[in-house]
């Protein structure tokens, strides 16, 4: 009889500990913040993910740096070809000598390991020094090339060095399309936080739905500088129009209709320079504010806020420069405030 009682006591003690662990795990799970980063392709979503690694993790591993080094060098060749083709399409004439270099360069195939020969480097430098060739980059709204491509042309001597290791700035400016889902876990002022990046291209969006459940905050990234550019996937559609439409669809999603959103109006530095020359009415015909930064940014903000169906949730916003680490730190300060507010309402904190 005594042995039986002892067995029961041991069983109750095991059950108690199991229940305690379950309750402890539940509290930890409820207190974990899940940040879902959404937006169209090339909006700058992945740049914010990279900034997370710099701000809250140990930066980039040696393997990651090697991957970026390869991508940067391959992109240099691809972007040079894009500019050559743009010159032909837009009927921009290079010097006769440089036309010959351009013709031959179109036959160049990127090395699979990202190596750059001295001839390739020299040809790129000659072409980039050509005023007409460089001028084609200013007309990039008429073809597809990343805004940050100039960074590597300007720094080609460094990129071409045999012992080149990409700097944080190089990595932040490097464009690699996101495929699938990337998750980074980090503590945000003591709160276990998980930030999730999914591809923004149309072909990737079908994967979004699997990440919607249990989201704490949706971070929606908009590249406001792309108001005069067309989609990679469909050159009949304006990029900012696509971002607006996707924002409205996302807000109405069943799993997200009660969630707070933070809209990051990104690439404000590029927008500030572009708006001096190109009126926002190329995107929104009803806009009458002219080439003025404040009026244009306020108009864009209002267009997004009109699509917001609030209910009891909140829409936060900030104008940002995704490649500027100090600026992104301010974003995470706001994210922290929003998470504390959400968790306080839920009685988690």
Going by the DSSP 8-state scheme, the letter that residue 238 receives in this structure is B
Q: Which of 41, 2, 27 lies closest to 242, judged by CA?
A: 41
- Could you give the CA distance from residue 298 to residue 97 in angstroms, rounded to a whole number? 47
> What dihedral do alpha carbons 328, 331, 333, 335 form, nearest 10°?
-130
What is the spatial distance between Cα 327 and Cα 192, in angstroms, rounded to a whole number?
22
Predicted pLDDT at 128: 97
Instruction: Kindly state the tokens that stand for 40.
Output: 């169209």
192 neighbors 185 (Cβ within 8 angstroms): yes
Residue 233 confidence (pLDDT)? 79
Q: CA 334, 337, 341: angle at the middle one, nearest 5?
A: 140
Query: Which tokens sit at 10?
Result: 């041991």
C-alpha–C-alpha distance, residues 312 and 94, integer Å: 59
2: which 2 tokens? 């005594």
Give the global pTM: 0.86
- What is residue 24's predicted lDDT score, i.e. its pLDDT? 42
Structural domains of the chain, ranges and CATH numbers in brackets? 36-59+178-338 (3.40.50.300), 62-173 (1.10.400.10)
Residue 232 has a pLDDT of: 81
**Are 17 and 23 spatial neighbours (Cβ–Cβ below 8 Å)?**
no
DSSP output for 60-88 = --HHHHHHHHHHHHHHHHHHHHHHHHHHH
Q: In the chain, which residues have pLDDT < 50?
A: 18-19, 21-29, 200
């Amino acid at each position: 009889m005594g042995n039986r009682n002892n067995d029961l006591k041991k069983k109750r003690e095991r059950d108690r500990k199991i229940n305690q662990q379950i309750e402890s795990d539940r509290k930890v799970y409820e207190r974990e913040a899940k940040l879902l980063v959404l937006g169209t392709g090339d909006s700058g979503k992945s740049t914010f993910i990279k900034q997370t690694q710099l701000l809250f993790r140990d930066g980039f591993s040696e393997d990651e740096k090697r991957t970026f080094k390869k991508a940067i060098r391959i992109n240099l060749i691809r972007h040079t070809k894009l500019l050559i083709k743009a010159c032909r399409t837009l009927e921009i004439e290079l010097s006769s000598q440089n036309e010959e270099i351009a013709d031959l360069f179109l036959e160049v195939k990127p090395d699979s390991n990202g190596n750059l020969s001295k001839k390739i480097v020299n040809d790129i430098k000659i072409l980039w020094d050509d005023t007409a060739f460089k001028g084609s980059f200013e007309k990039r709204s008429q073809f597809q090339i990343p805004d940050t491509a100039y960074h590597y042309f300007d720094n080609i001597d460094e990129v071409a060095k045999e012992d080149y290791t990409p700097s944080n700035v190089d990595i932040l400016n490097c464009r690699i399309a996101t495929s699938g889902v990337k998750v980074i876990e980090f503590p945000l002022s003591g709160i276990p936080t998980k930030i999730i990046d999914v591809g923004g291209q149309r072909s990737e969006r079908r994967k979004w739905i699997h990440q919607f459940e249990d989201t704490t905050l949706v971070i929606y990234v908009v590249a406001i500088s792309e108001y005069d550019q067309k989609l990679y996937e469909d050159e009949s559609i304006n990029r900012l129009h696509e971002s607006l439409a996707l924002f409205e669809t996302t807000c109405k999603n069943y799993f997200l209709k009660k969630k707070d959103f933070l809209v990051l109006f990104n690439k404000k530095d590029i927008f500030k320079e572009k708006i001096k020359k190109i009126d926002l009415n190329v995107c929104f015909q009803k806009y009458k504010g002219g080439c003025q930064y404040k009026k244009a940014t306020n108009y864009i903000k209002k267009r997004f806020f009109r699509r917001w169906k609030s209910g009891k949730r909140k829409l936060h916003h900030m104008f940002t420069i995704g490649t500027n680490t100090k600026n992104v730190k301010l974003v995470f300060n706001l994210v922290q405030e929003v998470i504390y507010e959400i968790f306080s309402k839920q009685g988690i904190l």
